[in-house]
Every structure is written in structure tokens, then in C-alpha cells.
Amino acid sequence: MHDFLTAALYKFVELPDFSELQAPLLACCEAHGVKGTLLLAPEGINGTIAGRPQAVRAVLAYLRQDARLATLEHKEAFAPQMPFYRMKVRLKKEIVTLGVPDVHPALMAGRYVKPQEWNALLAEPGLVLVDTRNDYEVGIGTFKGAINPATHSFSELPGWVEKEMAPGGQLAPVDGQKPRVAMFCTGGIRCEKSTAFLRAKGFEEVYHLEGGILKYLETMPEEQSLWQGECFVFDERVSVGHGLAVGGHTLCRSCRNPLGAEDRASPLYELGVSCAGCHASTTEEQKQGYRERQRQVTLAEARQQGHIGPRQPGA
């Protein structure tokens, strides 16, 4: 039985009084027994919360009482156990860190494209398709024909854009005209900001997938889909496929990268300790610490008790 509701939410909106919202928002969440993390910044709100369905919806209703957040949207998922251990409301400079001043997604984001219209857009000639996610996310799935900027963090994307705008680059002007660009990400937040950045750089025709990959996988029939592989998600599911069915990936507890069946078959993979990608970068002392942590997790699961620390999904 799935007793807990998880709500992922974000909205780019001008919140000059964001610091004053912190304490009452935290009090509201704690009063309803809701846990998770919410980020507040001058540019808006972002985060994920979980709890009993009525409690989560009470917090969402509280947020929407602010006229600036009245149209706040969220994505829901149910789970048999609470995925978080505490509630945090943090103040940040940005709700998703790009590191470039004067980029305002609430005012400058590219054109939204609904999932049902996405395939038609990608079929248009001359369109440059960019995956704005990090390299480890792209590695387990992406749209056919998408460019992988091979970034390790979102804040590296502006540097990649600058490099590719140079002559010969993938975003370089053709006959003096900047190319048409479509961008996508997991749930929409990163591509809203990245399309706003491109518009600030003078790109006139910039598009992004409304609701992100998750909304596309939820609504697009698999036989019509241009998606290849699975989509990494930042929760206990690790990855999802079409229809948002839970995928076949788990997390490496050391480096936090997603691991497929082939990765787990490596002789350098040890549950809760290491994978082939990070085995050489941790000391034996660190590995012993991870082994002890995994032993505690295994004991707690055998006793059907909670354990402070992230679960090993699919293990």
C-alpha cells in the first residue's frame, strides 16, 4: 500500500522577500508532518516534499495562498514509505545554480512545447537539440539526435554554450543567423533557465519541453516515442521509463552515479561500497566505512526498520 505522497515542485517568480518566507513555511511543513527540502531564492521556489496525502496537499494549498505562487504546479508520486528523514527550507541565491547574473526565467524563458508537439518540432530541419542535464544522466538515456554537452554540473553549461557559439561550434551562426535551439531536462526547471540564458545571448528561437522528460514519458505512447533508454530521477526510483515505470538502475552509494545491470556485473562493483567508476578513487579506509554502513542498512531492512541515510534502491 502506497501511504506517502511525494510532490516535486518549482516555479520561477520574483520573490524579493524570500528570506521572510522561510520560517512560516518551515512551521507549516512541520505542523503537518511533511518532510523533504524546499529552496527559496529571489528567483522562486524549488524542491520536493513528502508525507500523508492530506498533509502534502495542505502545504501546497498554503503555498498557493501567496498570489505569486497561485499557479504553482507540482508532480505527484506515491511510495510505501517516507523517502525523507527531516524537513529543510533553505535560502539560496538561485533555485537551480547556473551562476550567471541577470538571467530571469520568469521573464525570459524560451517557448514551451507540449509533449504531444515535441516530436513534430524535432523533425524540423536545422533545429539544434541540446540535453541540458549532466553527463551521468545523459549516459542512461536521452532523445535521439540530442547533443550531450558532457557537463558535470549545471553551472558548467554557460561555458559550453560560449564555446559552441564560436565559429565551427554546434551553436555557431549560419550565414549570420543564430540557429533555432530546443532544450530539455528532467522536469523542466533546468531548461527554463538555460533557454533564458540563450535568449540573453541573442538566440531568438529557443524552445523547451514543457514538463520535461518526465511529462513526455508519462504522456507519450512508447510506440511513438523518440526517447531512448531510461531517465535518471533524484529519488528512490533512480530511473524511470515510459509510463514512468521504475527502471533497472540502482545507485552507487559511493559516487552516487546510476548503475545498470552491466555496471553491477563488474568485478569492481560492491554493493554499497564502490563501482567501476569510483573504485580507484576511494581509500581502503573509506571502503571499510561504506561496508559498515551497508551492513547497518542490511540489518535495518531485515528488521523492517528505518535507517538514517539514503536507501539503496533496487538492492
pLDDT attached to residue 275:
94
Confidence of residue 3 (pLDDT cuts 50, 70, 90): confident
| Domain range annotation of the chain | 4-91, 105-224, 249-315
> In percent, how much of the chain has pLDDT > 90?
82
pLDDT at 236 over 80: no
- Which residues belong to the active site? 185
* CATH 3.40.1360.10 at 4-91, yes or no: no
pTM (two decimals): 0.85
pLDDT at 304 over 80: no
State in Å, rounded, how far the first CA of the chain is from the last one. Answer: 20
Taking residue 214's Cβ as centre, other Cβ atoms within 10 Å add up to 21
Confidence of residue 252 (pLDDT cuts 50, 70, 90): very high
Confidence of residue 311 (pLDDT cuts 50, 70, 90): very low
Domain 105-224, CATH among 3.40.50.10310, 3.40.250.10, 3.30.420.130, 3.20.20.110: 3.40.250.10
pLDDT attached to residue 306:
55
Average pLDDT for the chain: 92
pLDDT at 79 over 50: yes
pLDDT attached to residue 27:
98
